[in-house]
Structure 1
Amino acid sequence: MEQKLPLPPFTKETAIQKIRMAEDAWNTRDPEKVSLVYTEDTIWRNRAEFPKGREQVKEFLQRKWAKELDYRLIKELWAFTANRIAVRFAYECHDDSGNWSRSFGNENWEFNENGFMMRRFASINDLPIKESDRKFFWPLGRRPDDHPGLSDFGF
């Protein structure tokens, strides 16, 4: 049976590692790669969409990143238990008209014994921003280790 390390039960260190791995994957903006960390029958809530299963997640992510351009995401630990992690996040992106936004939210994750995410429930708020108000400036892809996190920005 395939596993996605680290496995539950989580410690603070392994929860932070799992979060950073998720952040790194989402910053690739590769729906195929990102979808592979979820169970085949994963259940999501993301705004008004409720994808079920890995294929619907992949389709959701394709639509998302087709319209959320220059997407950069930061995730941070909020809390954890044996197989659940609560995450705070913020991301910045723009649409095809050049309108920038920063989205803030919380996610609740639940993992199976092999480290795959079974459930992802997200609550998200969007804030239009000026391009000059952006905070996330690293080159597209993985956030550099020395780049400030959410708490550093006061988010």
Structure 2
Amino acid sequence: MPQTLKPPFTLDSARLKVRRAEDGWNSRNPGQVALAYSPDSVWRNRSQFLQGREAIIAFLTRKWEGERDYRLIKELFAFQGARIAVRFAYEWHDQTGQWFRSYGNENWIFDGQGLMCCRMASINDLAIEKADRLFHWPQGARPDDHPGLSDLGL
């Protein structure tokens, strides 16, 4: 397991923390993703409120069952001490084949061990045509040469 990045964050460590979070979510492995959060982590995701790793695993399992061919890009927005703010977008389609791009912002707070103890996410979904997709890579981590959000004009 890679060394945990702990607060206080620098610009480089905050960017790396964001990229590791993106890579984790793009794995679509709920158990693996949950390990980045403290055992009692508190979440607000849209209008849902969760607490603890088991709730996170259950939430992510449901999420990725419905959000097919999920691809996510996160970008550092701001950081200070043990806090990081990110903006993100992800593309996915539902069971009918309708594609969406979901845009959002997250505020993260980390404990002294570098585990996220609080995640607050606001997200909006936009229906898009398949031809308007911008995130094209095989399932898994985004390749280093794939453009980020700012590069894509998002």
**Offset of residue 12 of structure 1:** 0.5
Partner Cα distance (2:137, 2:37) in 1: 27
**Offset of residue 5 of structure 1:** 1.4
Alignment pair present for 1:38 and 2:37: yes
Q: Aligned runs of 1:103-122 on 2, under 5 Å?
A: 103-122=102-121
Q: 1:74: which partner in 2?
A: 73
Q: Aligned runs of 1:52-91 on 2, under 5 Å?
A: 52-91=51-90
Partner Cα distance (2:145, 2:136) in 1: 12
Secondary structure at the aligned position of 2:51 is classed as: coil
Where does structure 2 lack aligned partners over 5 or more consecutive residues? none
Q: TM (normalized to structure 2)?
A: 0.97
**Offset of residue 153 of structure 1:** 1.1
Secondary structure at the aligned position of 1:153 is classed as: coil
Partner Cα distance (1:62, 1:51) in 2: 14
Secondary structure at the aligned position of 2:150 is classed as: helix
CA-based RMSD of the aligned residues comes to 1.0
**Offset of residue 139 of structure 1:** 0.7
Q: Deviations over 1:23-65 (max 9, x none)?
A: 0000000000000110111000001111111110110000000
Q: Deviations over 1:79-115 (max 9, x none)?
A: 0001000000000000111010000000000000000
Partner Cα distance (1:134, 1:55) in 2: 33
Where does structure 1 lack aligned partners over 5 or more consecutive residues? none
Q: TM (normalized to structure 1)?
A: 0.97
Secondary structure at the aligned position of 1:150 is classed as: coil
Partner Cα distance (2:124, 2:66) in 1: 17
The one-letter code of the counterpart of 2:150 is S
The one-letter code of the counterpart of 1:63 is R
Partner Cα distance (1:68, 1:130) in 2: 16
The one-letter code of the counterpart of 2:58 is E
Moved over 3 A (4+): none
Q: 1:94: which partner in 2?
A: 93
Partner Cα distance (1:132, 1:50) in 2: 34
**Offset of residue 154 of structure 1:** 1.2
Asked if 2 retains the 8 angstrom alpha-carbon contact of 1:4 and 1:115, the reply is no
